[in-house]
Amino acid sequence: MLEQMGKAAKQASYQLAHCPTSTKNQVLTVIADLLEKQCSLILTANEKDIIAAKAQGLSAAILDRLLLTSDRLTDIANDVRKVVNLTDPIGKIIDGAILDNGLKLQRHRIPLGVIGVIYEARPNVTIDIAALCLKTGNVAILRGGKETIHTNAAMIAIIQQALAQVGLPEFAIQYIDNPDRKYINELLKLDKYVDMIIPRGGSALHKLCREHSTIPVITGGIGVCHIFMDESMDFDSAFPIIVNAKTQRPSTCNTVETLLVHTKIANTFLPKLSQIMADSGVILHADQRSFAILESSAANVFRVEDDELRQEWLSKDLNVVIVDSLEHAVDHIREYGSNHSEAILTRSLANAEKFVNLVDSAAVYVNASTRFTDGGQFGLGAEVAVSTQKLHVRGPMGLEALTTYKWVGFGDDLIRK
């Protein structure tokens, strides 16, 4: 099955690579319109997935990721329309020069080709990937989680309907609709046809792809994110940022999981934090020093375990750790973080600059919520994933992240001497 999908995808990629921007924008517009016109069909399919997920006892965080509403579907459609309005990077001349040997050399931006994306309970990812791939002339083979099988089937039908309507090959976006995990391993070995693998899910999925793929893999999306509250920051300004980073949508990878608090302010800051977290329904998981301060405070407080500092809660749970200095905070982030998103809350320009320079993550913020690490918020329209590695891209993966380049040389009957 996958061999045939791979062949069809490679053939479609040749046509998509040279597709004019106007045609690509047309298919995206049709997709956005069909998402709204067929809203009830998609929500009915999603309801089946939700019922099955609840029967399986899946967590509230997973259910939230899985759930579609009419408002969420409208947002997804509007994200597609934002991609329509973005500049098409394909064909762009990145740079160039006339060399001493007379060769006029340029770098032209081109599609990657065929992209395999493996993801879990995130039905919005199906549309995000399709939109970004089609805009950049790429073809995609998608494998979503079994939890979203009905929702994804409905969305893929819409995407392929739109492709056919504008005269593009339906095989430009394909979906592996069999939940058997053996097809993941087959996809990871399909290097004859697939140019890149992008996993979106937990650490186990990323590990599987890194260890078994014969295709280059872009990893990321695991967000053990931190906020460091330094001794100079005023409390009233800090609390709304912390609350937003933890509670605005706790099930996302850019949610803060650990709050690092400078020891100089801990005794006064933590009791106030506890009350605000209690009001926000957040459970605290404290290290030894912070537990001594928080034990009798308003919020529910537990001792934090070492492995909890290395994981995504993806819920209204927040680790609290006292640190002795900015350097101590950075050391903690290096030990426990996932290179996703970190923030410092400070009124010291020197501390802000030092934190930005020392923290090696895909996104680093000064006096801002970690929740901004998102393709839409970054003006990318949407994202395929958030890359936390250094090759080939970092951060939210928008249009340019789905491209590579080729060298083009122009000569005047030129030969090498």
pLDDT category of residue 347 using cuts at 50, 70 and 90: very high
At residue 97, the pLDDT reads 97
Residue 328 to residues 228, 229, 351: CA-CA distances in angstroms? 10, 12, 13
Give the chain's length: 417
Q: In whole angstroms, give the CA distance from residue 127 to residue 38.
A: 14
Assess whether pLDDT exceeds 90 at residue 172.
yes
Q: Tell whether omega for the bond before 392 is within 30 degrees of 0, i.e. cis.
A: yes
Q: In whole angstroms, give the CA distance from residue 88 to residue 86.
A: 6
Q: In whole angstroms, give the CA distance from residue 73 to residue 123.
A: 10
- The two three-digit tokens of residue 345, written as one number: 């809350």
At residue 124, the pLDDT reads 87
Q: Is the pTM of this model over 0.85?
A: yes
At residue 103, the pLDDT reads 97
Which has more pLDDT, 392 or 302?
A: 302
SS3 for 245? helix
At residue 200, the pLDDT reads 87
Least Cα distance to 397 among 381, 414, 416 occurs for: 381
Least Cα distance to 210 among 39, 391, 417 occurs for: 391
Instruction: Locate the DSSP E strands across 144-255.
Output: 173-175, 196-200, 225-229
At residue 140, the pLDDT reads 98
Q: What is the dihedral of CA 322, 266, 247, 286, to 10 degrees?
A: 50
Q: In whole angstroms, give the CA distance from residue 87 to residue 94.
A: 14
At residue 253, the pLDDT reads 92
Q: Which helix (H) or strand (E) holds 286?
A: strand 283-286
- The two three-digit tokens of residue 349, written as one number: 């320009």
Q: How does the average pLDDT of the chain come out, rounded?
A: 95
At residue 375, the pLDDT reads 86
SS3 for 343? strand
Q: Burial level of 190, CB count in 10 A (0-12/13-18/19+)?
A: buried
Check residue 221 and give left, alpha or beta (phi > 0: left; psi -120 to 50: alpha). left
Which has more pLDDT, 140 or 393?
A: 140
Q: In whole angstroms, give the CA distance from residue 210 to residue 56.
A: 28
Assess whether pLDDT exceeds 80 at residue 221.
no
At residue 1, the pLDDT reads 84
Q: Tell me: the pLDDT tens digits for 224-276?
A: 999 999 999 999 999 999 999 999 999 889 999 999 999 999 999 999 999 99
Contact 375, 349 (CB under 8 A): no
Q: In whole angstroms, give the CA distance from residue 105 to residue 414.
A: 12
At residue 59, the pLDDT reads 84
Whole-number percent of the chain with pLDDT over 90: 86
pLDDT category of residue 65 using cuts at 50, 70 and 90: confident
Residues 6+ positions from 390 with CB-CB distance below 8 Å: none
Q: For 202-227, what is the mean pLDDT?
A: 91
Q: In whole angstroms, give the CA distance from residue 69 to residue 211.
A: 37
Assess whether pLDDT exceeds 90 at residue 201.
no
- The two three-digit tokens of residue 56, written as one number: 């399986």
At residue 228, the pLDDT reads 98
Q: For 111-135, what is the mean pLDDT?
A: 92
SS3 for 166? coil
pLDDT category of residue 56 using cuts at 50, 70 and 90: very high
